[in-house]
């Protein structure tokens, strides 16, 4: 049974609809009967999202000077009520233009400026954690010289996902990347790898902080399975981050538990690719944010019982002309 008896929104537009985050958001919107119509946009069209959404529009990249005009026309022509950007390039674009709440009459479902500015820059995440006395992984700009210690990891300073992440285990390799990837960052290799956690956090309008902590297993950069855990040390840490950033609505914090305790290495200022998993587990941050943006009261949150596991499988789509 859907959570809502009838749709509370006329039209929702989800950007980046060819990606896994948008697909997960779509599944929630349809499962819970949230909107009468769901539109998807993407810079590519050879993907399943083109057929899964009620309507699809190919759009120019966020870096294009006509991006706002193109998206604005789609919003106006289709009477869009809520806009959900899912790509970091688009989130950054809106933030830089100081468009955080409304765009052409559509309500923007985004977190606050500080969380976006810090979360989109992995070096800024390190600086924020260090400044606020929170556990951090040492991080250094590649342009400033060789890494502090080896082994370490090399990853992109900007951009979502683990694309470009490499373990550097010798000086020769470090020297090569110092010469070829000066815009990236060196970062401490946090061990053990099997102690990685993804933490969904949501700050309600009344100040209540809701969270879910999942110990996860990765495959190809995506969470393939996970287990809900209860860890008061992690919960206290992520709550401190939420309060320090004054997070609006949702955020996703990634960390590893080392011999020094939990250490954060990423803060994502957007919905996570695990948003559908978490929704099924009772952590319904997408639904809560849509309801609160509509000035509706949200249901109480009953934290998921520790020990519950989930698994991600692939799904095929056949399209006939």
Phi first, then psi, for residue 283 (nearest 5°) are -90, 95
* Residue 37, strand partner residues: 11
Q: What is the pLDDT of residue 85?
A: 98
Residue in the block written with tokens 């879910």: 212
pLDDT tens-digit profile of 161-170? 677 899 999 9
pLDDT tens-digit profile of 178-192? 999 999 999 999 999
Quickly state the pLDDT bin for 224 (edges 50, 70, 90).
confident
Determine the Cα–Cα distance for residues 287 and 26; give it in Å rounded to an integer. 12
Lowest mean pLDDT segment, chosen from 57-71, 145-159, 304-318: 304-318
DSSP state of 183: T
Q: What is the pLDDT of residue 148?
A: 95
Quickly state the pLDDT bin for 316 (edges 50, 70, 90).
confident
Q: What is the pLDDT of residue 162?
A: 72
Tokens of 159: 């951009």
Q: With b meaning 16 or more CB within 10 Å and e meaning fewer, what string describes 168-201?
A: beeeeebeebbeebeebbbbbbbeeeeebbbbbb
* Residue 266, strand partner residues: 254
Say whether pLDDT at 3 is over 70.
no
Say whether pLDDT at 1 is over 70.
no
Say whether pLDDT at 314 is over 90.
no
Task: Give the residue-averaged pLDDT of 294-316.
Answer: 92
9-110 belongs to CATH 3.30.420.10: no
192-311 belongs to CATH 3.30.470.20: yes
What's the distance, Cα to Cα, between the start and end of the chain in Å? Answer: 33
Query: Which pTM does this prediction carry?
Result: 0.94
pLDDT tens-digit profile of 233-247? 999 999 999 999 999
pLDDT tens-digit profile of 256-271? 999 999 999 999 999 9
Share of the chain above pLDDT 70, in %: 98
Distance of CA 179 to the CA centre of its chain: 31
Say whether pLDDT at 146 is over 70.
yes
pLDDT tens-digit profile of 84-132? 999 999 999 999 999 999 999 999 999 999 999 999 999 999 999 999 9
Q: What is the pLDDT of residue 241?
A: 98
Determine the Cα–Cα distance for residues 23 and 245; give it in Å rounded to an integer. 28
Say whether pLDDT at 133 is over 60.
yes
Q: What is the pLDDT of residue 163?
A: 75
* Residues ≥6 apart with Cβ < 8 Å to 279: 28, 31, 285, 286, 287
Say whether pLDDT at 221 is over 80.
no
Q: What is the mean pLDDT of the chain?
A: 95
Q: What is the pLDDT of residue 160?
A: 72
Q: What is the pLDDT of residue 177?
A: 98
Say whether pLDDT at 54 is over 90.
yes
Say whether pLDDT at 141 is over 90.
yes
């Amino acid at each position: 049974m859907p959570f809502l008896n009838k749709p509370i929104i006329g039209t929702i537009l989800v950007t980046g609809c060819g990606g896994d985050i948008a697909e997960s958001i779509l599944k929630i919107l349809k499962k819970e009967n949230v909107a009468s119509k769901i539109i998807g946009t993407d810079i590519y069209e050879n993907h399943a999202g083109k057929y899964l959404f009620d309507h699809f529009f190919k759009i120019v990249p966020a870096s294009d000077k006509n991006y706002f005009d193109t998206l604005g026309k789609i919003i106006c022509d289709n009477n869009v009520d809520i806009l959900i950007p899912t790509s970091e390039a688009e989130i950054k674009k809106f933030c830089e233009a100081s468009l955080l709440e409304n765009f052409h009459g559509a309500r923007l479902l985004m977190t606050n400026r500080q969380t976006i500015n810090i979360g989109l820059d992995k070096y800024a995440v390190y600086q924020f954690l260090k400044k606020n006395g929170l556990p951090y992984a040492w991080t250094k700009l590649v342009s400033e010289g060789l890494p502090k210690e080896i082994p370490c990891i090399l990853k992109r300073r900007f951009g979502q996902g683990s694309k470009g992440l490499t373990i550097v285990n010798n000086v020769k390799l470090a020297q090569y990347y110092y010469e070829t990837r000066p815009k990236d960052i060196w970062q401490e290799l946090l061990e053990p790898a099997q102690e990685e956690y993804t933490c969904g956090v949501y700050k309600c309008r009344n100040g209540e902080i809701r969270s879910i902590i999942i110990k996860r297993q990765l495959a190809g950069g995506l969470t393939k399975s996970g287990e809900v855990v209860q860890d008061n040390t992690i919960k206290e840490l992520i709550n401190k981050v939420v309060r320090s950033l004054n997070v609006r609505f949702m955020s996703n914090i990634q960390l590893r538990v080392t011999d020094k305790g939990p250490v954060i290495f990423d803060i994502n200022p957007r919905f996570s690719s695990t948003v559908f998993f978490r929704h099924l587990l009772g952590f319904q941050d997408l639904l809560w944010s849509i309801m609160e943006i509509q000035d509706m009261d949200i249901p109480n949150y009953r934290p998921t019982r520790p020990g519950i596991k989930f698994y991600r499988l692939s799904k095929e789509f056949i399209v006939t002309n």
